[in-house]
């Protein structure tokens, strides 16, 4: 059972891309995908927390339907740390660990199911309360700006397989906080897209090393998917079916590109 939490922290909202389409087409396949999503999330969180006991934070997860909420749970002693540099160091480590955990979940879910996860990460207020259960009712109290903003990043801006971070309350520049994380296998860059708010950053979970050519190839697909989604939302119903087919084609093409990228990474 998760302990109650209230305070500012890093919150991630994770969503299975295209799950509703799978559910409508094949319920057995949808059940298999959900089971894999839950199992991978559980294993990754357990592996992290069991090997990081000395740290003053843990990574906690709540999984509901095709979504997951993963957040950093700082211990009570964290609030009593007075030295600013020590707090910043802990924040850097916590964010790095969260991003690495999320990257592993994305990669392992892809490996097991050949499906993509969309992710939004935000730093802000978050409240979780495990309230009393009654017969036929289970209550998990979840709210806060951190959760809502992470949800918005995932649902309103991320396209299939995209992993977006915005940590506006801590810094206008994510890289000011996290520093050099390439040595941990985390590839992260600021998003240069006018349709996405400034100071958003993308984690390239399918890459182990920073590579301009591969990053540009991935960005090309994201831009095209975002353009098609915008066109779909702005057009009359008569064109939506046609645009939806184009989105599905581009999405399938993108998944094939990821398969090749990961295959090349593993062979290097």
DSSP 160-200: TT-EEEE-TTT-S-HHHHH---GGGT--EEE---TTS-SS-
Task: Identify the DSSP state of 253.
Answer: H
Predicted model pTM: 0.90
pLDDT band of residue 172 (cuts 50, 70, 90) is: low
CATH pick for 5-205 out of 3.30.70.1230, 3.40.190.10, 3.10.580.10, 3.20.20.450: 3.30.70.1230
Alpha-carbon span 54 to 75, nearest angstrom: 11
Supply the pLDDT for residue 98.
Answer: 95
Q: What mean pLDDT do residues 69-76 have?
A: 91
Higher pLDDT, 27 or 178: 27
Q: Domain ranges in the chain?
A: 5-205, 210-268
32 confidence band (pLDDT: 50, 70, 90)? very high
Instruction: Examine the pLDDT at 169 and tell me if it is beyond 60.
Output: no
Q: What is the mean pLDDT of residues 93-104?
A: 93
């Amino acid at each position: 059972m998760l302990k109650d939490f209230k305070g500012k922290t890093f919150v991630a909202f994770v969503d299975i891309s295209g799950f509703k389409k799978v559910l409508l087409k094949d319920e057995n396949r949808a059940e298999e995908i959900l089971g894999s999503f839950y199992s991978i999330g559980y294993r990754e969180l357990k592996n992290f927390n069991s090997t990081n006991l000395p740290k003053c934070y843990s990574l906690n997860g709540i999984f509901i339907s095709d979504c997951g909420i993963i957040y950093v749970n700082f211990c009570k002693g964290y609030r009593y740390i007075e030295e600013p540099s020590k707090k910043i160091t802990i924040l850097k480590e916590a964010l790095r660990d969260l991003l690495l955990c999320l990257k592993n979940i994305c990669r392992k879910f892809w490996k097991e199911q050949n499906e993509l996860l969309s992710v939004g990460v935000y730093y802000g207020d978050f409240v979780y309360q495990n309230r009393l259960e009654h017969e036929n009712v289970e209550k998990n109290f979840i709210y806060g700006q951190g959760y809502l903003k992470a949800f918005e990043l995932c649902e309103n801006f991320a396209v299939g397989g995209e992993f977006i971070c915005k940590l506006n309350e801590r810094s206008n520049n994510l890289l000011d906080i996290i520093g050099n994380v390439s040595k941990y296998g985390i590839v992260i860059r600021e998003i240069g897209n006018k349709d996405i708010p400034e100071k958003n950053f993308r984690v390239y979970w399918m890459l182990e090393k920073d590579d301009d050519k591969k990053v540009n190839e991935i960005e090309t697909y994201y831009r095209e998917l975002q353009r098609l989604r915008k066109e779909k939302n702005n057009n009359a119903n008569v064109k939506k079916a046609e645009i939806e087919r184009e989105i599905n084609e581009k999405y399938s093409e993108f998944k094939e590109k990821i398969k090749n990228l990961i295959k090349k990474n593993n062979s290097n």
